[in-house]
Amino acid sequence: MSLPPSADNYVGEPEYPGPWTTKRPLEGLRDTDAAKIICLAPDVCLTPIGKDAVPIPYQIVDYCGHDQNYTPSVRFTGQKAMVLRSNTTHVHGDAPGTKKGIKSGAVENICEPIGHAAEVRAEGSNVIRHLDRFWMNNKNTQGEAIYVRNSQVYAAALDDDPVYGSLTSEFEPVQLAFDSTSPEAQQLLRDIMKREATKAARRGIFAHGVRAVAANPVAAGVAGAAAAVALLPPAVGYVGISRAQAAAEDALRAQVGLQPRLRTPILRLPMDIPLSVTQNVRVTEREGGCPIGPYDIMQPICAASGRQAHHVVPDRTFRSGGPTSSRLYSNAPSKASGAAVCVDSNRMGRDSEHSRIHFDYYDPQAALEAANGNPSGFIRLSRAEDLGSEALEKGTNGRCNKEYIRSYLRNYHQQVFDMEPDTLVRGQKKPIDAGSSREYWQPESHKFARVRNSMAETEREFDNGNTELTMVAGVAIEKDYVYIAQYLDKYREYFDEVYYSRLSGVNLSGRYKQPWMAHDQPWQVVSLCVWRSYPQARRIYVALSSEGEIELMGPGGNPHIEEHIEGAGLNKPWSKHLGYVNEIRAIGSALYVCGGANQVYRRTANGRWQLISGDILIDPLERQKLQSPMSGIRHFHSIAGLAEDDIYATGLEGEVYHYNGTNWKKVPTGTKNHLHKLCVLDAETVFVAGAYGTLLRGNERVGFQSVWPLEDAASFTGIAAFGGKLFLASERGLYTYDLTTGLAAPYQTDLTPDFLDPHQLDVADGVLWSFGFKDLAYFDGSTWTRVDHPDNPPIR
């Protein structure tokens, strides 16, 4: 093997300079800390040693999430793309070299790309990829980008390739910046329009108001911008293709990013896929694409991929009240025919994509606009489509493109259900008072639309034989005593509309014949804590609902106090449209609650709840003045601290704030991933866990840095320190992070089967408790013990 040219300062492994860590195409860099730039030679900086300045080599790294001049209009998986004009803002690791670099005269300075894709551009500038070279610390040394999301390679597809895979093939996570080399693109573009449309006809998917778009099975399957994303059969031709069908096919082809010139068969342009370009850029989606279709079609597809079907425009939008109430319009979409996509679901967890879309984004904005609507409680269908599309894009962190989803919804509602954009629909979550046969004005080109007469709520045929429960929150009181909030599974489909929770104390000390004790609340409880500084009792068990209702209950049920937080929530008489509240914690001698619009409340000694957000509170009326009001939405998901003058709160888009007892200060984190939980070990050591493998360490004085060493992108929903390690709960199982070595690894219990669905963690008296949605167990440092739930089948 010959040495590389002298201009290259890195030899690497055999076959260098070929790409030795992955095959082509190389992953495109974007605004994420998962993409790193690592030095190939040390960054030599002059460092004060006594009175001298000594040149010392430093190993440095930078993160592509520290972005500058990225592409605001071109996104890879919802994140801005790095291009040749871009740079990262500062390297890490050379801070002691305060006399600066020997070549650049800089320290902790920028990284600029050298290598790039020759044929792929974004906003006119060449895209930067994995393995491309960089100048680091303002040209003091060189480095190389490392970002491997998917290393599969593909042979060129042929026109007569067999159809491989199943419907779930559309969920494969690889797409390409160009439109040619992905096997998903090649398969879909040649075969998706050949699938079984007769399935749609047999099932009557479009029975609600389908017009005569065209007289063949394809038209029935694709009416309304290809609503039946998974319905089209082999061997269906295009004779007599209509303009509606062309639009429908375009919509399907747009799902794999095909360029517009290849989406217009009505203009007789070629439909064949171009050959691969010589240099492409891989863009690996986090969890796959965003197919859309009728709910009853998408639901089994979503379930097969471990996801949940989500109505982009909530099903309640077309109802007057609860799940059993009348539809506002006879031709409105039903639950089965409403447009849906697949989203990540932690069953009923508040930190899943599904919950974020509803609780963090759609509900607050729709409720605010409906409160100011004319008539009150209503918004236009076009606005519901806008809000649903934007909430979906934000809740999925850019995986679902709002422009495409909005276009799909408009075509679907208009062509399939004959519903015009100005149709008035329900915006608020609480039932609307539509009266009997009340008329609402519609555009002049349409007749008055009459609200159906019946407003009576009838008893829904819930599966009353289903008594199973899903645990949504838990707290450890003692080593053998926990407090749990649960929802009834029979309300699963409408858990965000049915307000009901069961609160159970589980005492395994042996002092009680029946260890499970329960009572119910007509609330949606979201968080629990133990308050050990209550003046009249040694401890109080506290429950918080999303609307700001509070229950305080002492041992044996005495005292038992119910109250609410003035201003919290969305749908109660005391609500001020700030948003739901999410978590309650005992800090110092007081209780603290955090939630939407950066709400933070403190319960004062006289029993009153005081809003202490100050100037970080997001005023919904001011937010409404923004060009995109939903972009101004902020939420706190978690709050924690060791003292009342040292409190942290964290939530959406990587935001962490610190409270010193008087003022709030934003703390830099270097990430835009949503942050779910806090773990405060001491004044100097605070951990923050969040989405996509986010684990940060730091404090309010030095800021936060990513410390998660694995490529695994699990979303962490629970965190607790135990036995010299952090335990982290995620949808993929438990993980540990060693507090001494910084090493992390997936964790397996000694349970059979292993713990199924960890969601929250807590520690009391030297015992770690893991709360799942169905599973419950504790760890004493040597042995795990599973606790069977009396209302659920045992886990064996």
* Residue pLDDT, tens place only, 181-196: 344 444 443 443 344 3
Task: State both tokens at 409.
Answer: 């919804």
> Do residues 291 and 230 touch, judged by C-beta distance below 8 A?
yes
What's the whole-number mean pLDDT along residues 562-587?
A: 94
When mean pLDDT is compared across 195-199, 577-581, 748-752, the lowest value belongs to 195-199
Domain final residue, candidates 605, 633, 661: 633
Looking at the chain, how many residues does it have? 796
Write the pLDDT tens digit of every residue in 123-174: 888 999 999 999 999 999 999 999 877 555 444 444 444 433 333 333 343 3
- Dihedral through CA 619, CA 620, CA 625, CA 626, nearest 10? 90
Give the span between the Cα atoms of 492 and 487, in whole angstroms: 8
> Residue 582 falls within a domain, yes or no?
yes
Write the pLDDT tens digit of every residue in 420-478: 999 999 988 877 764 433 443 333 333 333 333 232 333 344 556 788 999 999 999 99
SS3 assignment, position 341: strand
> Residue 76 falls within a domain, yes or no?
yes
Residue with tokens 């201009």: 7
> Residue 132 falls within a domain, yes or no?
yes
Task: Quickly state the pLDDT bin for 9 (edges 50, 70, 90).
Answer: very low
Burial (CB count within 10 angstroms: exposed 0-12, middle 13-18, buried 19+), residue 37: buried
Give the residue among 309, 649, 325 at the shortest CA–CA distance from 493: 309
| Residue 284 bridge partners (DSSP) | 174
Bridge-based pairing of strands 292-294 and 281-284 is: unpaired
Task: Quickly state the pLDDT bin for 497 (edges 50, 70, 90).
Answer: confident
Encoded amino acid at 378, one letter: F
Residues above pLDDT 90, as percent of the chain: 48
Identify the top-confidence range among 180-194, 236-250, 332-346, 507-521.
507-521
Give the residue among 587, 589, 592 at the shortest CA–CA distance from 602: 592
Question: What is the H or E stretch that residue 371 is in?
Answer: helix 363-371
Instruction: Print the domain residue range for 558.
Output: 526-597+622-633
Return the higher-pLDDT residue of 634 and 232: 634
Task: State both tokens at 504.
Answer: 């159970």
Number of domains the chain contains: 2
What's the whole-number mean pLDDT along residues 195-207?
A: 34
> Residue 142 falls within a domain, yes or no?
yes
How big, in percent rounded to 5, are the helix, strand and coil portions of the chain? 15, 30, 50
> Residue 78 falls within a domain, yes or no?
yes
> Residue 470 falls within a domain, yes or no?
no
Domain final residue, candidates 91, 116, 146: 146
The predicted pLDDT at position 66 comes to 87
What's the whole-number mean pLDDT along residues 226-238?
A: 32
Burial (CB count within 10 angstroms: exposed 0-12, middle 13-18, buried 19+), residue 752: exposed
Got the DSSP string for 500-520?
-EEEEEEE-SSS-SS-EEEEE
> Residue 105 falls within a domain, yes or no?
yes
Residues 6+ apart with CB under 8 A from 412: 224, 225, 227, 339
> Residue 553 falls within a domain, yes or no?
yes
Residue with tokens 């508040």: 350
Measure the N-to-C terminal CA separation of the chain; round to a whole number of Å: 57
Task: Quickly state the pLDDT bin for 376 (edges 50, 70, 90).
Answer: confident
Domain final residue, candidates 77, 112, 146: 146
The predicted pLDDT at position 587 comes to 97
Count other C-beta atoms under 10 Å from residue 558's C-beta. Answer: 9
pLDDT of 529 over the 80 cut? yes
| Average pLDDT over the chain, rounded to an integer | 78
Return the higher-pLDDT residue of 128 and 607: 128
SS3 assignment, position 555: helix
Give the residue among 228, 167, 239 at the shortest CA–CA distance from 201: 228
Give the residue among 631, 634, 603 at the shortest CA–CA distance from 616: 634
